[in-house]
Amino acid sequence: MAAAAIGASHLVASTRAGAEFGWQLAWLVLAVNLLKYPFFAAGARYTAATGESLLHGYLRQGKGYLALFTGLNVLAAIASTAGVCMLTAAMLTQFIPLSIDILAFLVLVSSLLLLILGHYKWLDGVTKVIMLILTLTTLIAVSLAVSNQWGQVTPTTAADAWQWANVGFLVAMMGWMPAPIEVSAWNSLWLLEKQKTQSVTPDQALFDFNLGYITTAILAIVFLALGALVMHGSGEQFSDSGVQFANQLIRLYSQVMGEDTRYLIGIVAFLCIFSTTVTVIDGYSRTLNMGWQLLAKQPDNPNRLNLIMLAVSVLGLGLILFFKGALLPLLEFVMILAFMTTIIFAGLNFKLMISTHLTEAQRYGTRMRILSWIGLIYLISFALVFVYWYSTKN
């Protein structure tokens, strides 16, 4: 889950929020992580309690619920794969002098080979190492940035994050914060996969989820801090170009850790985003495969999963070619799409976690129900604000 979350939402959205608006959005980052928690936790809690995935739960609620979830996931899979793949390719441009389109193709081929040949075991092992390295590197960078800023006067003039014109950015940032909410279904399927090789108790499953979730929330603030401490007030803004954005992001780290670390930082950032790409392809494909299997009442077929991975990758590459290297517009489109669909996914998960299919002890209690209702009201309200903003901005 950490690999899925600590990608575009952190490296792009959180860092950009800090760079453009300083610390103004720190509380919003924490708030959206808190308000989405019940909907993400449903994946681990439901599967640990019942031994089946969230998708089985949707089907128990009615075939239409599963069909709606699967249909929206087709759109999300293509858009998200395109977004994280272009960001990975943008990082590669710092080392390989090829066009971003060619590099995106190579990234997709590499991701597919890793998943088809290595399956879940490789994914689980590789992502843990990469996340540890990225976490340590980012914490060191922010610590050095704080040390460099100590005693200095911080800029008093900053762009107002709450201007009407910034609604689109705010919604985009929250769309993938900490990750697309359909990751709850991935987590559910990954837990089932993990249970094939080892015993996982409900307490262990929830602890594992909470550790990943809290880590992503803390690191979202850490990345925001990096942007606020190093880039905010400099007059520089992130470029829409994928190549330029990657260069700016790596320069953020090297400014505080030393120019000699530039290539090391570039490699770590690339590996982080590459792991996100692999995780996104795997997660969406597993979800779509299970959705088709349940809706069509088909037996499990490993070849079908591979074909879905291939189809998602090819369609994602088509979207990359459409945006022609414009990274930030593509990511903003993907994140806004994620925010608007979050309302439906969150509602499905909440409905499932209070259903009579679960025992009273397994259902959400009073506190989780209250937090869920507050989260739903918040998400719906902001979605309505965005729709009005989008209809009037031109």
pLDDT single digits (tens) 167-203: 888 888 888 788 888 889 988 888 888 888 787 788 8
pLDDT the model gives residue 274:
84
pLDDT the model gives residue 122:
65
pLDDT the model gives residue 2:
65
Q: Identify the top-confidence range among 232-241, 321-330, 380-389.
A: 380-389
- Least confident piece of the model among 54-68, 84-98, 108-122, 286-300: 108-122
Report, at the CATH architecture level, how domain 2-149+168-392 is classified. Up-down Bundle (1.20)
Q: What size, in residues, is the chain? A: 394
- Least confident piece of the model among 47-56, 144-153, 286-295: 144-153
pLDDT the model gives residue 56:
92
Give the CA radius of gyration of the chain: 20
The number of CA neighbours under 13 Å toward the Cβ of 372 is 22
Q: Measured at the alpha carbon of residue 208, what is the angle toward residues 206 and 211, in degrees to the nearest 5? A: 105
List, as one string, the DSSP characters of 269-306: HHHHHHHHHHHHHHHHHHHHHHHHHHHTTPPP-HHHHH
pLDDT the model gives residue 158:
62
Q: Is the pLDDT of residue 31 over 90?
A: yes
Q: Is the pLDDT of residue 151 over 60?
A: no
> Rounded mean pLDDT of 156-164?
74
Q: Looking at per-residue confidence, does 280 or 122 come out higher?
A: 280
pLDDT the model gives residue 369:
96
pLDDT the model gives residue 153:
46
Using pLDDT thresholds of 50, 70 and 90, give the confidence band for residue 312.
very high
**Residues 147, 148, 149, 155: what is their CA dihedral angle, to the nearest 10 degrees?**
-160
Q: Which residues, including other chains, have CB under 8 Å from residue 351's CB and lie 6 or more apart?
A: 61, 65
| Average pLDDT in the chain | 85
| DSSP alpha helix (H) spans, 1-99 | 2-5, 15-21, 26-50, 54-61, 63-92
Rounded Cα–Cα distance for residues 14 and 331 (Å): 13
DSSP-based three-state secondary structure for 156: coil
pLDDT the model gives residue 245:
80
pLDDT the model gives residue 203:
85
pLDDT the model gives residue 197:
79
Rounded Cα–Cα distance for residues 365 and 361 (Å): 8
pLDDT the model gives residue 330:
84
Task: Name residue 366's amino acid.
Answer: T
Domain boundaries, the chain: 2-149+168-392
Q: Is the pLDDT of residue 155 over 60?
A: no
Q: Is the pLDDT of residue 309 over 90?
A: yes
Q: Is the pLDDT of residue 311 over 60?
A: yes
Q: Is the pLDDT of residue 150 over 60?
A: no
Cα–Cα distances in angstroms (integers) from residue 2 to residues 17, 26, 183, 245, in the given order? 20, 19, 10, 23
Q: Is the pLDDT of residue 131 over 50?
A: yes
Rounded Cα–Cα distance for residues 173 and 181 (Å): 13
| Percentage of the chain lying above the pLDDT 90 cut | 30
Q: Looking at per-residue confidence, does 3 or 53 come out higher?
A: 53
- b/e per residue, 30-56, with b = 16+ CB within 10 A? bebbebbbbbbbbbbbbbbbbeebbbb
DSSP-based three-state secondary structure for 241: strand
Joined tokens for residue 164: 């009407």
317-371 per-position pLDDT tens digit: 999 888 877 777 888 888 888 888 889 999 999 999 999 888 888 899 999 999 9
Using pLDDT thresholds of 50, 70 and 90, give the confidence band for residue 243.
confident
> Rounded mean pLDDT of 242-269?
79
Q: Looking at per-residue confidence, does 57 or 6 come out higher?
A: 57
